[in-house]
Amino acid sequence: MHRSIKSIKILGILAIGSLFIACSGGSSQQSEEEGSIVDTLATTTDSLIYPQEKHFKNMRQLTFAADNAEAYWSFDNSKVVFQSNNHAWGVQCDQIFYFDVATADMKNHAPKMLSTGKGRTTCSYFLPGDTTIVYASTHLSGDACPPEPEHTPGGKYLWPIYPTYDIFVADLNGNILKQLTNEPGYDAEATVSPKGDKIVFTSDRSGDLELYTMNLDGSDVKQITHELGYDGGAFFSPDGTQLIFRSSRPKTDEEKKEYKDLLAKGLVAPTAMELYICNADGSDLRQLTNLGKANWAPFFAPSGKKVIFSSNHAGTHGFEFNLYMINTDGTGLEQISHDKVFDAFPMFSPDGKKIIFSSNRNNGGTHDTNLFIADWVE
């Protein structure tokens, strides 16, 4: 999955054996006194932007509690679909919601839930026409949220690869219209080409976690990647001709054995990930980043010539994720956000005018990760 926000933001902390509370005192978190004015910052303002963040303007906070992530635009730039585990909205683990960008007031009103409310969901995305979405869900295997792996103090952080995930199409009233995958094992992480003709997703149907494409109706499934390692979180370029994705490619015999042993248990260790780029049919595959640590959540800039992504490679602690941009030839790395804790899941609106992302900023000293939207300044 692109990943629940709760899991990825503690990735580095668990890797160094410390507690998540260690990040609540960073400068991106508000002090107790500042926390009292969180509400006054809710609707506007460039006080939500750090001085170095020259590409952001007119930033607005959209959510105000819990973990909110993977916010993705509709084709017409007017709506956003996302996942949240906000208990106040009647859910116990990640479920899918959507809102209209111009009118949303999620501080005072819960958005509309599009998933069933059963099981766990991830990776929602609008289909052409903006009246239906795709998302992955475990609800066919039971109503309860599937258990998360136990965290071993000082041990590697692990992501669960739930074999009960399948990909579904739903309308904006939450009615499931179709099940797109029905293979044994993990099928999730679906996103849609801007051309409106293909879906890319991750599956372990081959025995490894690889990328696949299919038509919007689930037909013509084709395997895109073939090398050992976790290939996931893929997005199409604006013209639909390329894919950008993250991968944890084991190199040594020891790394390969560890990867295979964990995968046999339905787990992956995402502490070392780099970005890869290829044509939409899998050809011309090449590694885009070589930064070390965890580089993930990539998305093409509107020009198709750059990629924005989240990385902790420059942080002194594993939990310091910021947004970066890089040319598709691997040159011109630029830091975009300057949070002291966590920024991730960036996505440009299709018209290129706005960006939406998840951040720990302005959370009043809590662990909450919220959605923020801003005008994009080149």
The CATH number of residue 230's host domain is: 2.120.10.30
CA distance 29 to 319: 13
H-state helical runs in the chain: 5-9, 11-15, 32-35, 253-264
Pairing label, strands 95-100, 286-287: unpaired
Burial of 159 per CB tally in 10 Å (0-12, 13-18, 19+): buried
Q: What residues make up the domain containing 175?
A: 5-376
pLDDT (mean) for 302-315: 97
CA distance 16 to 23: 13
Q: Is the pLDDT of residue 252 over 70?
A: yes
Q: What is the pLDDT of residue 17?
A: 28
CB distance 243 to 236 below 8 Å = yes
Cα–chain center distance at 313: 18
Question: Which phi and psi angles does 191 have, rounded to 5°?
Answer: -135, 165
Q: Is the pLDDT of residue 284 over 50?
A: yes
CA distance 88 to 85: 9
pTM of the model: 0.90
Structure tokens at 112: 């509309």
- Share the mean pLDDT of the chain: 89
Q: Is the pLDDT of residue 19 over 70?
A: no
The structural domain count of the chain equals: 1
Q: What is the pLDDT of residue 43?
A: 42
Residue 34 vs residues 6, 48, 50, 64, 342: alpha-carbon distances, Å? 24, 12, 15, 15, 19
Amino acid symbol at 307: V
CA distance 312 to 346: 15
pLDDT (mean) for 267-282: 96
Count of CB atoms situated within 10 Å of the CB of 280: 21
Confidence of residue 21 (pLDDT cuts 50, 70, 90): very low
Q: Is the pLDDT of residue 213 over 70?
A: yes
